[in-house]
């Protein structure tokens, strides 16, 4: 069986999409499924050296960028011409190579990037499965550009049931939304997934460092993490903060950190990191935090970093939004706080260093839960069964 995966992520950058796709790649290879991964529109890191190799083998799986990055080109005319060129190149690739695949899989499809896949499916009748890990219409737009983006997402969601045989989603609430368009039997949940083998047993060393990995958009409320860190630092002068990931709002956060009064030297900002960097960067933290806001957008998802945090064996704190409380038992496998509650976040950060052994035990139990529910070996069996069903 040969399967072609299409996404707008890449195969190197350290983000949620890469983590999920490479966990799929690892598991499918172990099950002898021949899967290739193609990127329709790489991020801007493709042109800054992080993804300099445009095709090759990673962990035994073939990947290829079908076009160059079209993100953040300075001139809007050039940017749009490049997008049109990329769409044409992707469609030509499918016309030439599409017959060699038994099935196609699209990860987080959207318009216009996935138009070539939709058109090829309509022409060839090739089975197509889609996966949605975010529900964009729940996002509250703040400007015309964001309104236009959500409008395109709504059109895409209307088209999906016509082009795809099945839909994979990440949470119960997302399934409830899509069942009306697909029907109960055409929607499957695969929650967070992680390649557990990437993460070693938790270290015994104490670093006085708390960590955050991911987006710095308002929905992730990193501001609240900084506020809680500043309060906790008043009584623990040795406390450090590691912010992991590309941050397009760096100037804003620099100002916020200066206003918070925290020691500049205590805050580490890694910038963009690779997929291979993440396990060690997380394991070097005593405590890891998810602090999503309590808006509808958060309620539909399940962050990949939940699985990555738990896989380290380090204790974690999370806002109790979406499906997170289904996998975290407060005080036993992690710690839950009300979204936006800075005081509670600060209290748990401080308690980490008052009862270190208890927190370590919680982290180790969380690691066991992660292996049971999120390990790639379990989740790819679901994926393989779908492939076998639709490639006959």
Omega within 30 of 0 (cis) for the link into 112: yes
Same-domain check for residues 255 and 161: no
Q: Note whether 107 and 212 are same-domain residues.
A: no
Q: Is the pLDDT of residue 141 over 90?
A: no
- The DSSP element (H or E) to which 173 belongs, if any, is helix 172-182
Can you tell me the distance from the alpha carbon of 73 to that of 79, in angstroms, rounded to the nearest whole number? Answer: 5
Q: Which domain holds residue 118?
A: 2-195+375-390
Contact 90, 64 (CB under 8 A): no
What is the pTM for the complete model shown?
Answer: 0.93
User: 41: pLDDT confidence band, cut at 50, 70 and 90?
Assistant: confident
* CATH code: domain of residue 150: 3.40.50.2000
Confidence at 54, pLDDT banded by 50, 70, 90: confident
pLDDT at 391 over 90: no
CB 174 within 8 A of CB 191: no
For 106-126, what is the mean pLDDT?
94
Are 37 and 153 found together in one domain? yes
Across 366-387, average pLDDT:
95
243 and 281 co-located in one domain: yes
Query: For the chain, what is the domain count?
Result: 2
Do residues 97 and 153 share a domain?
Answer: yes
Q: Are residues 119 and 218 in the same domain?
A: no
pLDDT in tens, 63-105: 998 876 655 556 777 777 878 888 998 999 999 999 999 999 9
Window from 18-22, 45-49, 150-154, 204-208 with minimum mean pLDDT: 45-49
281 within 8 A of 201, measured Cβ to Cβ: no
Residues 222 and 143 in one domain: no
40/188: higher pLDDT: 188
Q: Given the structure tokens 């290739």, which residue do they identify?
A: 36
Residue in this structure with the two tokens 């109790």, named with its chain if needed: 320
Do 26 and 122 lie in a common domain? yes
Q: In what helix (H) or strand (E) does residue 87 lie, and over which residues does it extend?
A: helix 76-97
* The two three-digit tokens of residue 77, written as one number: 């005319």
Report the range of poorest mean pLDDT among 135-139, 239-243, 288-292, 343-347.
135-139
Which helix H or strand E contains 104, and what residues bound it?
Answer: strand 103-107
Is pLDDT of 47 > 60?
no
The percentage of residues in the chain with a pLDDT greater than 70, rounded to a whole number, is 95
How confident is the model over 267-282, as a mean pLDDT?
A: 94
Indicate the helix (H) or strand (E) that contains 94. helix 76-97
State CA 199 to chain mean position distance: 17
- The verdict on 175 and 235 lying in the same domain is no
The Cβ of residue 184 has, within 10 Å, a number of other Cβ atoms equal to 8
Residue 191 neighbours by CB under 8 Å, 6+ apart: 170, 171, 302, 323, 327, 373, 374, 379
Indicate whether 43 pLDDT > 80.
Answer: no
- pLDDT for 11: 80
**Does position 50 have pLDDT exceeding 80, yes or no?**
no
* Residue 234 and residue 161 share a domain: no
Average per-residue pLDDT for the chain: 91
What mean pLDDT comes out for the span 28-44? 87
Return the SS3 of 358.
helix
Task: Tell me what pLDDT residue 71 has.
Answer: 54
Of 77-81, 174-178, 270-274, 314-318, the poorest mean pLDDT is in: 77-81
Res 51: pLDDT: 64
> Both 155 and 219 in a single domain?
no
Q: Tokens for 383, please give them.
A: 């994926």
Q: Residue range 158-176: average pLDDT? A: 95
Q: What is the pLDDT of residues 307-336, one digit of tens each?
A: 999 999 999 999 999 999 999 999 999 999
Phi, psi of 256 (to 5 degrees): -60, -45
352 and 382 fall within a common domain:
no
Q: State the pLDDT at residue 385.
A: 96
The mean pLDDT of 198-221, rounded to a whole number, is 93
Q: Which among 124, 134, 146, 144 is positioned nearest to 171, based on CA atoms? A: 134
Judged against a pLDDT cut of 60, whether residue 291 lies above it is answered with: yes
Contact 186, 298 (CB under 8 A): no
Please give the pLDDT value at position 42: 65
- For position 322, what pLDDT does the model report? 92
């Amino acid at each position: 069986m040969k399967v072609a995966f299409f996404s707008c992520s890449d195969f190197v950058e350290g983000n949620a999409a890469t983590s999920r796709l490479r966990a799929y790649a690892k598991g499918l290879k172990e099950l002898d499924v021949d899967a290739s991964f193609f990127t329709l529109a790489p991020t801007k890191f493709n042109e800054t050296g992080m993804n300099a190799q445009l095709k090759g083998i990673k962990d035994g799986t073939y990947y290829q960028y079908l076009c160059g990055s079209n993100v953040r080109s300075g001139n809007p005319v050039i940017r749009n011409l490049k997008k049109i060129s990329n769409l044409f190149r992707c469609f030509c690739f499918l016309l030439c190579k599409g017959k060699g695949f038994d099935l196609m899989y699209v990860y987080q499809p959207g318009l216009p990037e996935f138009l070539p896949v939709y058109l090829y499916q309509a022409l060839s009748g090739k089975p197509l499965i889609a996966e949605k890990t975010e529900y964009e219409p729940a996002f509250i737009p703040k400007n015309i550009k964001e309104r236009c983006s959500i409008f395109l997402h709504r059109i895409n969601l209307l088209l999906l049931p016509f082009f795809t045989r099945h839909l994979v989603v990440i949470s119960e609430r997302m399934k409830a939304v899509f069942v009306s368009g697909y029907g109960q039997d055409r929607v499957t949940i695969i929650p967070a997934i992680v390649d557990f083998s990437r993460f070693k047993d938790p270290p015994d060393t104490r670093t006085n460092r708390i960590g955050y990995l991911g987006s710095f958009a308002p929905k992730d409320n990193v501001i609240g993490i900084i506020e809680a860190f500043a309060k906790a630092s008043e009584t623990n002068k040795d406390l450090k903060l590691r912010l992991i990931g590309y941050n397009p709002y760096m100037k804003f956060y620099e100002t916020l950190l200066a206003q918070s009064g925290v020691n500049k030297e205590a805050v580490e900002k890694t910038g963009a990191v690779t997929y291979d960097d993440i396990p060690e960067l997380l394991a070097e933290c005593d405590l890891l935090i998810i602090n999503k806001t309590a808006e509808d957008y958060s309620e539909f998802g399940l962050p990949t970093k939940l699985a990555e945090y738990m896989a380290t064996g380090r204790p974690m704190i999370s806002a109790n939004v979406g499906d997170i409380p289904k996998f975290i038992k407060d005080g036993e496998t992690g710690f839950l706080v009300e979204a936006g509650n800075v005081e509670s976040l600060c209290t748990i950060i401080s308690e980490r260093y008052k009862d270190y052994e208890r927190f370590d035990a919680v982290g180790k139990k969380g690691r066991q839960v992660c292996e049971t529910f999120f390990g790639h070996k379990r989740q790819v069996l679901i994926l393989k069964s779908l492939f076998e069903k639709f490639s006959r």
